[in-house]
Amino acid sequence: MKLNGKTAIVTGGAMGIGLATSKLLVKEGCIITIWDINKVEMQKAKKDLESLGGKVFTYQCDVTDKKRVYSLALKAKKEMGHIDILVNNAGYVKGGEFLDHDDEVWEKTIQVNLTSMIYTIKAVLPGMYERNSGHIVNISSAAGLLGVAGLSMYAATKWAVLGLTESLRFESWNKGKKGVKWTSIHPSYLAHGMFEGAKLGFLGNLIVPLVKSHDVIAKAIVYGALIKGKYSVRRPRSLRLSILLRGILPDLIFQKLMILLGVHKSMETWQGRK
């Protein structure tokens, strides 16, 4: 996809991966709409993006509020003409073992990381089907490829995002709408931000090092997914080994390998965004 002149909605676009992605989209000539729950950070983001020469619309939005999502999607269509790109980036993480938190914490995890995508995708997909053109990028995780202790519900939602993305890609093909593209993005632990402090063991970190910055994932979204049209993008690239090894190794050996790499204890040092 050539991005100059395209329109995009980025959820959770005021900070982290969302802001870094929005900056790249603006530099590529996109008109963008940012939705974020944090009004203060969104105002800062708007100034930053406009200083880059971007045409930017910003709205406070809790993506779990479907009425708000549908209403703002209509507004985005009026302001931008139509929607070429949706980046489902808004996310929520609460570390801890499965029994550590009340139901409400896990329900919020599901609502933000998965249920909200039902609303955002339903809001933009009919228009994309009508034009047989568009691209929806869903942020999954390395935890959408591997189970992680202390991250069970987050991992469950991110596995679901991978399945949702792939299933909808096939639905689009079955409808003869191959012009509508779908990509899942799978970042490993980032050195800073939501997963600050989390890390693999010594051997695991050699093979799958921490992602240095949000810009790395933003480039994967803009250049890997949108411009090159890749179906699934993993960062670091060595994450591809997880799929290969799971496929060729016996289950018992694969699980022992994950323990050797320190995956099972990687959340024990998690601190989160400061």
Active site residues: 154
Alpha-helical runs (H) found in the chain: 16-27, 39-51, 66-80, 103-110, 116-131, 152-174, 202-207, 214-219, 240-248, 251-260
Q: How far apart are CA 73 and CA 82, in angstroms?
A: 10
DSSP assignment of 176-217: T-TTEEEEEEEE--BSSSTTTT----HHHHHHSPPB--HHHH
Pairing of strands 180-187, 134-139: parallel
Contact call for residues 191 and 238 (beta carbons, < 8 A): no
Q: How far apart are CA 149 and CA 65, in angstroms?
A: 30
Handedness of CA 70, 71, 72, 74 (dihedral sign): positive
Strand, helix or coil for residue 271: coil
Q: How far apart are CA 254 and CA 85, in angstroms?
A: 37
Q: How far apart are CA 120 and CA 68, in angstroms?
A: 10
Axis crossing angle, helix 152-174 with helix 116-131, rounded to the nearest 10: 20
Q: How far apart are CA 117 and CA 119, in angstroms?
A: 5
